Structure 1
Amino acid sequence: MTPPCTNCGNPLQRHVNLSSGQLSALANDLRFEFGPFVVTPQRAQEFRTILALGEKDIKDHVSELARLERQRDILSSFLSPIRKLPNETLFRIFQYVCEENLLQCYPWPPGRRPPTKMKSPVITYLPSTVISSVCSRWHALALSSPSLWANLAVETYTTSLDEAENLVGFIDTITRYLERSGDSPLRLALDIQGSWIPHSEEVPSLIHLTQHSPRWKTFKYDGHHFLTWYSLLSQLRCPLLVELDIAIMVEGLNCFKHHPRLTALSTSEPVGKTSKALYNQLHHINFYHHLLTELVDALHSCASLKTLVLGYIYPDLEEGGLGTWRNITSVSLVNGKSSRIVFSSFDFPSLNKLVLDGGHEGGPAHGLVSFISRSSCMITTFTLRGIHLSDLDLVAALRVMPALLHLEVENKLQPDYLPKYQSPVTSHLLSSLTHDHSTSISLIPKLHSLHLTWRFESSDTSDDSSDDSSDDTSDGAPGNNASDDEFDNDFDDTAFVNMVKSRWFKPGSDLAAEMSALGKSCIRSVVLKFPARRVNADIYEPLRILDAEGLRVVVAGTNGVQV
C-alpha cells in the first residue's frame, strides 16, 4: 500500500518508475559505451529530468519517514516503564532529587564572589522547577506536592532600599517557591554577604522569608554578619524548629531558647553565652571549634544528649578523666587532631556509633583501643575517613569491637605539603577479616555491611593500562599516587574477593547453619569504590555469582560499575 502524502493526505505517486530491465540496460551502457558522443543532448536532458523527479521522490519519502518516526516515538512513550510507576513512587524519587533548591541573588554585585560558584545553568540548581517542566503529569504532581518546594538555600547580599529595586526577579522567585510550598515545614539555609548597611533588615528577601518563620523546621545561617544585627532574625518565633545550624560566631543563642521542639544544634558559639535551658533540651550537638572547658560545660548541661559531633577542640585544661556520659550513643570527630583529647578525657559506655574523619589534613587516632576498652561500649557502626591509622592498629581496634555490624573505611588524598600515610586497607587487614570456617575465633564475626573507598591511584591499572597512567611531579614534590617509594598503596583485589567469599553463607545452606552456631553472621552488603582506579572485571567475577545468590555487591571504578 502506497503511504499518504504528509501535506495533502493523498497516496504518494512515484515520479520515476524504472523497471529492473531498464536499470540493467543502463548499467550495461555504463560498462560498454564510451567516448564523448555516447550520450546525446536529448538523452542527457532525459537523465536530468529523471534525476530531478527522483530527488522529489526521495524528499517525499523522507518526510513520510519523519512522520512515521514521530508517530513511533509518541506511541512507544505509552509503553515506557516509567508510566507504570504510581505517583507515590515518583513522589519519593522527586523527594530524593529535590533535597535543595538554590536561590542565589541575581544580579550578584560585580567584584564579589558568591558563596556558591555555579558551574551549570541556573535551572540545574532548581530541581523542583526542572521536574515541574518535564511533562503535564510531572507538573501536576510537583504542584500537588508542597514539600518539594520547601527545601531552600538562599544566598543574598545586603542592599540599600534603592538597590533593592534591581532584585525584583529574585524576590519573585522566592515568593513563587514560598507559595508553592504551601503549609509544608520549611528547611531554610540563609547566607547573607556584603557590607553591613543600617536598616538592611528591610530588604524584601528577609521580609518574605521571616514572614514564613512559623513554618521553619530547620534553619542554617552563614554570612558576614552577626545574627542579632537583623531584628527580623533575632526576634524569630519558630514553633516547628527542630534543627539549628549557626556556622559563624554569634552574639548568643538565647533568642532560640523559647523553641521547645529544638533538639539539634550546630554552633561555634561559646557555651557560657547561651542559656543552659536551651542545652538541656538538645539531643544532637555539633561543635565546630570550642575550648575543652566549654565542651565539658556543654556536656554537663545536656542531660538529654544522644549524638555528639566535634570539630577543633583546643585543650585549655589538663586532659584525662573529665567525666563519663552514659546517655551519648553516637560520637563523630571531624578533625583527626582532636581524637587524642577526646579519647583520653571522656568515657561513653553507651556508645554504639563512632565516626573518625580526619578532615582536610587527616590526623592520627591516638588512644582509640584504650578508649573503647575503658568505655566498655558495644560499637555497632564504625567509620574511618582519612585517619592515619596503620593496618595493625586498625586490626587491634576491630578486635575490641566484637559487636560491629557496619564498617566503612575511606582513605583521603593528602595535600602535597603534608606527609603521605599508609592506607590501613592492606593485604594484612583483608586477610585478618577473612573468615576461617574451622574455628569460632574471628575478627568482627557479625559484620553485616562493608563499605571501602580507595582514592589512591594504583601503579597497576588492572585491565586497561595506558602509557600516560603515571603521575609525574615536575617540582619533585611527593605525589599522592602509589608510585612513591615510601608506601605501597596498591589494592589487593584477590585478597578482597577471598575475604568477601569467606563471609558469605548462602541462606538455608548447611554452612550458614554451621557458621550461625559458631556465632558468625553472613555479610549482606559490600560496596567498593575506586574514584581514581580502573576495575578488572575478571578478578571480581566471583562476586557476581554471590550477587546473584542474594549478596548486595557494588564494585565501581573509573571505568564504571563492574559488579
Structure 2
Amino acid sequence: MVNLSGEQSFRLRTNLDFVALRQRLRSEYGSSVQTEADIDGIVSDVEKDLEDCDAEIDRLQSRILVLQNQRRLLERYRTHSCSLRSPVRKIPNETVQQIFDYACGMNKLTSKKFRDMPTLTISNVCLRWRSLVKACPALWSRIHFKMESVPSHNFSVLDLYLESSQQSPLIIEITGKPEALQPHHAAVCDALVGHVNRWQQLSVQGFEVYKSLTWHPRHYPALQRLLCPHLDLYPAGLEDFKDAPQLCCLSVGFIPSVDLGEIQFPWKQLKLLAMGHHPSGMKNILDVCDKLTELQFQEVGIKPGSYELSLPPTMASVLETLSLSVSQTGLSESLAEVVFSSMACPSLTSLLLEARNNYQRPWPKKALCAFISRSSFNLTTLSIKFIPLSDADLIDLLHSLPSLLDLTIDDSRLFATTATKPSPITPRLIQSLHACPFDASSVLVQKLQHLHMTFSGSSFNDGDFIDMVSSRWLSDNLDNFLDSGVGTVCLRSAVMCFKNREVDENIYRRLRHVEKAGMRVVGIGKSS
C-alpha cells in the first residue's frame, strides 16, 4: 500500500561527515588503515541507505501520481459543478423544444457528416436533451436522402427516423435520378409507402422514384405539398393525387397541352403553383386554379408554346406573389413579356424576378408598365436578380411603386463574378433613393423599410450610399408629409454586398450611430 503521509519512512545508517572522511583519507595509511571488515561495513551501510532512498523516491513519485490524478478528478468535478450554473438549465423544457424545432432542419440520412442529421446529433448531447428530442416526433419527421447513396443493406437510420417520428406528419425529400431502381431502392420506397397516410410534403427528383412511390392511386389524407420541379407529369401522373384533400402546393416541370380542368386533380385547393412550362396558356391556369395566392413560372423550354399568351388578360384576383425565373431562349417572346401581358393581379404584394443563365433579353418595360397600370396593386416587395437593367428603367419602375417596403437588387450574374450589363446600381440610382434628392424630383419609394443590394463592379461611391442610408433614418412622425412627396418612413435595414471589392470599415463606421439606434446595417466584402 502506498504511504500517503508526508513523513520520511526510514533513517540513514550512514553519518555523512565528509570532513572526517577526507581527514581519514589523508592520514590513514600503512598500519593505521582500518581493517577490510570495517570498510565493508561502512560501504554496506551506504548501499543499504541508497536502496532506502530509491524506495523512498518510488514512494514519493507514486504519491505525486496519486495527487496528479486527484487533481484531474477535481478539475473535472469543478467543470461539472459549474455546469449547474449554466443558463440553459433554467430554460423550461417547452422553450428548449421550440429552440430545437427552429434549429433542426432536414436530416440528411445518406450524408457522411453526423452534423447533417441535427436531430440525431442533439439527441446525443445529454440525457435531458435526448429525452426532449424523443418527446418531439416532429424533429424526426424531416427526412432527406439521395437515392443513389442509400446503402444496399440495412438502411437502419431511416427505420430509426420513421419509428421515432411516431404519428407526426412526414416531410420527405428524395434527391437523385437513378435510371433504374435496385431492390434496395424499391425497399426504401416500400418503407415510405407504408407511412403514406403521414406524408405532409413529398419532394422527388427522379421519375423512377416517383413511379415507385405513386404506382397506383392512394388516399393522401395529410399531403399538403407535392414538389417535383424536374419532372414532366402527364394526366395519369397527376391523377394519382386526386384524393389529397389537404394538397395546397404543387411544383412540376411540365404539364401537357391539355385543359387542366379535364385532369382529376384538386386544382381548386391549390394556393401555390410552380411549373416549368404549360402550353395551354395563362388563362387555363388561372381559370382552373382560381384560389392561387402564389404563382411561380420557370422558363426552361426552347420549343415554341412553352407559355401561351392570353388575350385579353386574365384576372387573378387573389394572387399575392408572382415569381418569374427567366432564361435565355430562342423564343420570340420572353416569359416575362407573356406573363405581364396575360394577367391582371389587383392583390399582388410581391414580385420576384430572377435570371437563370446568361440572360440578355431587353427589359420588358412596356409590358411591365401595362401590367402595373392594369392591376393597380399595392406592391410591397420587389426583388430583381441577375437581370440586365438600366438605372433609368429601374428608377422609372420605382416611381410607379410608391407602396414598396422591401427592395432587393442583385446586378451579378449567376455562377459568375462579373456584373450584368447594364447594371442598375449606379450613382444615379443611389442619389435617387436619397430622402432629399439633389434635383427637384419627388422622393422614390418613400415607404421603403428594407434595402438589400448586391454589387459586382469594382468602383462604388461608398460615401453616397452612406449619405442615402443616413438620410432615411427619420422619425416615423413624418407620415403626414408623404403625400406631398417630402420625407420618408424610417429605413429599418440596409445590406450592401460586394462581389469584387472589400468593405472599407473606416467609411462605414459613419453608420455606427444609426446601427446603435436600431437600424440593421450590414456591409459584406468579397472575402466575407
Q: Which bin holds the TM-score, normalised by the shorter protein?
A: 0.7 to 0.9
Q: Which amino acid aligns with 2:195?
A: H
- Cross-structure match for 2:21: none
| 8 Å Cα contact 2:186-2:212 kept in structure 1 | no
| 8 Å Cα contact 1:379-1:403 kept in structure 2 | yes
Shift of residue 223, structure 1, vs aligned partner: 1.0
Shift of residue 437, structure 1, vs aligned partner: 8.5
Provide the rounded CA distance (Å) in 2 between the counterparts of 1:87 and 1:392. 55
Structure 2 residue 341 is matched with structure 1 residue 344 = yes
Q: Percent identity?
A: 29
Aligned CA distance change for structure 1 residues 521 and 197 (closer, same or farther; 3 Å): closer
Provide the rounded CA distance (Å) in 2 between the counterparts of 1:332 and 1:13. 85
- Cross-structure match for 2:431: 431
Structure 2 residue 352 is matched with structure 1 residue 359 = no
Q: Which amino acid aligns with 2:244?
A: H
Provide the rounded CA distance (Å) in 2 between the counterparts of 1:429 and 1:14. 88
> 1:206 pairs with 165, 172, 189, which one?
189
Structure 2 residue 314 is matched with structure 1 residue 324 = yes
Aligned CA distance change for structure 1 residues 65 and 197 (closer, same or farther; 3 Å): closer
- Cross-structure match for 2:15: none
Shift of residue 432, structure 1, vs aligned partner: 0.7
Provide the rounded CA distance (Å) in 1 between the counterparts of 2:176 and 2:509. 52
- Cross-structure match for 2:86: 80
Task: Give me the CA root mean square deviation.
Answer: 3.8
Shift of residue 186, structure 1, vs aligned partner: 0.8
Provide the rounded CA distance (Å) in 1 between the counterparts of 2:487 and 2:3. 77
- Cross-structure match for 1:303: 290
- Cross-structure match for 1:540: 508
Aligned CA distance change for structure 1 residues 554 and 416 (closer, same or farther; 3 Å): closer
Shift of residue 375, structure 1, vs aligned partner: 2.8
Shift of residue 145, structure 1, vs aligned partner: 0.7
Provide the rounded CA distance (Å) in 2 between the counterparts of 1:500 and 1:69. 52
Aligned CA distance change for structure 1 residues 144 and 158 (closer, same or farther; 3 Å): closer
- Cross-structure match for 1:219: 202
Provide the rounded CA distance (Å) in 2 between the counterparts of 1:498 and 1:11. 76
C-alpha offsets along residues 115-171 of structure 1, whole Å, 9 cap, x if unaligned? xxx5xx331221111111112221111111111111111332599xxxx9x421x1x
SS at match of 2:298: strand
- Cross-structure match for 1:167: 153
SS at match of 2:273: strand
Q: Which amino acid aligns with 2:508?
A: Y
- Cross-structure match for 1:494: 463
Of 532-541 and 242-251, deviating more is 532-541
| 8 Å Cα contact 1:321-1:345 kept in structure 2 | yes
Provide the rounded CA distance (Å) in 2 between the counterparts of 1:14 and 1:393. 95
Provide the rounded CA distance (Å) in 2 between the counterparts of 1:550 and 1:309. 35
| 8 Å Cα contact 2:2-2:63 kept in structure 1 | no
| 8 Å Cα contact 1:382-1:408 kept in structure 2 | yes
Provide the rounded CA distance (Å) in 2 between the counterparts of 1:268 and 1:249. 5
SS at match of 1:388: coil
Aligned CA distance change for structure 1 residues 390 and 76 (closer, same or farther; 3 Å): farther
Provide the rounded CA distance (Å) in 1 between the counterparts of 2:500 and 2:174. 35
SS at match of 1:396: helix
| 8 Å Cα contact 1:335-1:363 kept in structure 2 | no
Q: Which amino acid aligns with 1:194?
A: P
Matches within 5 A, 1:400-415: 400-414=400-414
Structure 2 residue 140 is matched with structure 1 residue 149 = yes
Shift of residue 420, structure 1, vs aligned partner: 4.8
Shift of residue 226, structure 1, vs aligned partner: 7.1
| 8 Å Cα contact 2:383-2:407 kept in structure 1 | yes
What are the ranges of 5 or more consecutive residues in structure 1 without an aligned counterpart?
1-6, 16-41, 105-117, 457-481, 483-488
Provide the rounded CA distance (Å) in 1 between the counterparts of 2:434 and 2:409. 16
Q: Which amino acid aligns with 1:249?
A: D
Structure 2 residue 451 is matched with structure 1 residue 450 = yes
Aligned CA distance change for structure 1 residues 12 and 179 (closer, same or farther; 3 Å): farther
Provide the rounded CA distance (Å) in 2 between the counterparts of 1:86 and 1:501. 42
Aligned CA distance change for structure 1 residues 273 and 180 (closer, same or farther; 3 Å): farther
SS at match of 2:297: strand
SS at match of 1:542: helix
> 1:257 pairs with 242, 256, 261, which one?
242
Q: Which amino acid aligns with 2:166?
A: G
The two structures have a TM-score, normalised by structure 1, of 0.72
Aligned CA distance change for structure 1 residues 512 and 552 (closer, same or farther; 3 Å): farther
- Cross-structure match for 2:28: none
| 8 Å Cα contact 2:476-2:489 kept in structure 1 | no
Aligned CA distance change for structure 1 residues 207 and 494 (closer, same or farther; 3 Å): same
Tell me the number of residue pairs that the alignment of Structure 1 and Structure 2 aligns: 465
Shift of residue 59, structure 1, vs aligned partner: 6.4
Of 399-408 and 295-304, deviating more is 295-304
Q: Which amino acid aligns with 1:130?
A: T
Name the larger-Rg structure: 2
Provide the rounded CA distance (Å) in 2 between the counterparts of 1:543 and 1:11. 67
| 8 Å Cα contact 1:336-1:356 kept in structure 2 | no
| 8 Å Cα contact 1:158-1:197 kept in structure 2 | no
Provide the rounded CA distance (Å) in 1 between the counterparts of 2:125 and 2:442. 57
The two structures have a TM-score, normalised by structure 2, of 0.77
Provide the rounded CA distance (Å) in 2 between the counterparts of 1:263 and 1:14. 86
| 8 Å Cα contact 1:332-1:356 kept in structure 2 | yes
Structure 2 residue 90 is matched with structure 1 residue 90 = no
Q: Which amino acid aligns with 2:518?
A: G
- Cross-structure match for 1:109: none
Structure 2 residue 267 is matched with structure 1 residue 279 = yes
Provide the rounded CA distance (Å) in 1 between the counterparts of 2:377 and 2:3. 81
Aligned CA distance change for structure 1 residues 440 and 428 (closer, same or farther; 3 Å): closer
- Cross-structure match for 1:234: 216
Provide the rounded CA distance (Å) in 2 between the counterparts of 1:234 and 1:524. 52
| 8 Å Cα contact 2:282-2:314 kept in structure 1 | no
| 8 Å Cα contact 1:362-1:387 kept in structure 2 | yes
C-alpha offsets along residues 263-300 of structure 1, whole Å, 9 cap, x if unaligned? 11111232528516522221211012333x34442222
Aligned CA distance change for structure 1 residues 151 and 201 (closer, same or farther; 3 Å): same
> 2:131 pairs with 128, 134, 140, which one?
140
Structure 2 residue 493 is matched with structure 1 residue 525 = yes
Of 436-445 and 277-286, deviating more is 436-445
Structure 2 residue 152 is matched with structure 1 residue 177 = no
Provide the rounded CA distance (Å) in 2 between the counterparts of 1:13 and 1:541. 67
